[in-house]
Amino acid sequence: MSSLLALGPVIVARLKGRLPETVQVLEGRTADDFARSGQIAPAVYVVYDGGAIAQSRPDARAARITQRWMCVCIAKNLQGVATGSAALVDAGALADSTLAALMGWRPEGTSQALTLVDLPRPRYDTGYQMVPLVLATEIVRKAPL
């Protein structure tokens, strides 16, 4: 990876190539971005969700970093708006397609395939269902010599 957060646009490109053209795939800066843009649906927002140091060399010149990437799947369906059941079905189908495109895929520059690691609480708002998925992978960063 050319930079610490270079994987975001790579995930966006992968999803754009695998999801139907009717689904907008966007990169967000924070998890709040998708909440402010709830009018865009169907959509998947790709957001860097932080990470952790998996391993660091004793001389501190290299580290394996576990990165978390959240994909927020958003669907709109006004049928049964009171219960949200139709929007939930649509968002679930979009989440399944998103997982099919990403799970087990190893982007160039990473040291392991993307793995589903978390399913944060979904959110519903008047016909809009938001289902977040969190996937993780590892990258290696080295200090220049």
Residues 6+ apart with CB under 8 A from 78: 86, 87, 127
What pLDDT does 89 receive? 96
What's the CA gap between 119 and 115, in Å, rounded? 12
What class, spelled out in words, does domain 7-142 have in CATH?
alpha beta
What's the CA gap between 145 and 131, in Å, rounded? 43
| Residue spans per domain, the chain | 7-142
List beta partners, residue 48.
69
pLDDT digits (tens, 9 = 90+) for 69-94: 999 999 999 998 888 999 999 999 99
